[in-house]
């Protein structure tokens, strides 16, 4: 199933009210099984497993206002593949109501609660769950511009959607604050497009600066500054999916790009 098909299936299932409890029960079951596996292999820092997502990006995008998930548009993603993607139809910002019932805080809370319950039964100290969330550039790369006036420069003028990324940053800051306020101690920002040759120069030019802006919310907001003292941020920039390591037809990120990024990462 490609990303476009996954989006359509996700939207169709969440649109049926009686399916909601079934979906949430299945997520709880899969999450519990995953945590048992992590415990069996002594994984020190488990993640949520992302079972509540159709792709690792789009559930976050659903928390953005003015992104159309019904009228998908063909769009080149990562500079290599064409997907049917959601489309921007206006200036993006935080949605007042999350239509799918999913948001980063809820995903983390569900998983952390299950981990706490399992640890209590075993008489062990619960492990803290790491939350993963897509970064500004990767998110912007995975959504197209709609046909109508969306308020941004055109794809030709702004192929990497820098203005869109700037509008995504406050939404990421919102969810990071919510996670920290509710006790999350490990937050991973996924920016795999940084390593792609089509984006490496933009990543070096302003991508890392945007990550600094996202994470700087812990210093700029006095309400969470104290809570954030022991919060650990990490950034994920992979070459591609592990299942595709030996796939000669798969477009891996160029390994040399990691050398170019090394100084900025440090």
> 227, 180 in Cβ contact below 8 A?
yes
Tell me the pTM.
0.89
Question: Domain range spanning residue 16?
Answer: 3-265
> How far is it, in rounded angstroms, from Cα 95 to Cα 86?
15
Output the domain CATH number for residue 33.
3.20.20.210
Q: How would residue 64 be classed by pLDDT, with cut points 50, 70 and 90?
A: very high
For the cut 60, the answer to whether the pLDDT of residue 1 exceeds it is no
Instruction: Let me know if 148 is exposed, middle or buried by CB neighbors in 10 A (0-12, 13-18, 19+).
Output: exposed
> How far is it, in rounded angstroms, from Cα 66 to Cα 101?
17
Give percent above pLDDT 90 in the chain. 51
Q: What's the token pair of residue 148?
A: 């109508």
Mean pLDDT of the chain: 87
* pLDDT tens column, 133-167: 999 999 999 999 888 778 887 766 666 789 999 99
| Number of domains present in the structure of the chain | 1
Place of tokens 């792709």: 55
Contacts of 188 (CB under 8 A, 6+ apart): 47, 130, 131, 132, 133, 233, 234, 235, 236
> 214, 189 in Cβ contact below 8 A?
yes
């Amino acid at each position: 199933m490609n990303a476009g098909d996954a989006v359509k299936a996700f939207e169709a299932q969440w649109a049926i009210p009686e399916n909601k409890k079934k979906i949430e029960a299945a997520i709880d079951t899969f999450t519990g099984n995953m945590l048992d596996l992590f415990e069996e292999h002594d994984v020190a820092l488990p993640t949520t497993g992302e079972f509540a997502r159709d792709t690792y990006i789009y559930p976050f995008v659903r928390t953005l206002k003015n992104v159309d998930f019904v009228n998908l548009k063909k769009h080149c993603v990562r500079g290599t593949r064409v997907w049917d993607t959601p489309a921007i139809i206006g200036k993006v910002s935080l949605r007042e109501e999350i239509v799918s019932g999913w948001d980063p805080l809820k995903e983390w809370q569900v998983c952390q609660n299950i981990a706490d319950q399992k640890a209590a039964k075993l008489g062990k100290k619960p492990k803290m769950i790491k939350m993963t969330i897509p970064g500004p550039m990767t998110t912007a790369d995975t959504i197209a511009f709609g046909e109508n006036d969306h308020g941004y420069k055109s794809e030709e003028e702004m192929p990497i959607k820098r203005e869109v990324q700037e509008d995504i940053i406050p939404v990421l800051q919102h969810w990071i604050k919510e996670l920290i306020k509710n006790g999350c101690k490990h937050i991973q920002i996924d920016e795999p497009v940084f390593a792609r040759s089509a984006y490496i120069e933009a990543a070096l030019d302003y991508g890392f600066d945007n990550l600094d802006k996202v994470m700087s919310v812990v210093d700029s907001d006095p309400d969470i500054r104290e809570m954030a003292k022991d919060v650990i941020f990490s950034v994920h920039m992979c070459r591609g999916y592990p299942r595709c390591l030996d796939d000669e037809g798969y477009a891996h990120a160029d390994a040399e790009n990691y050398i170019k990024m090394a100084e900025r990462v440090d």
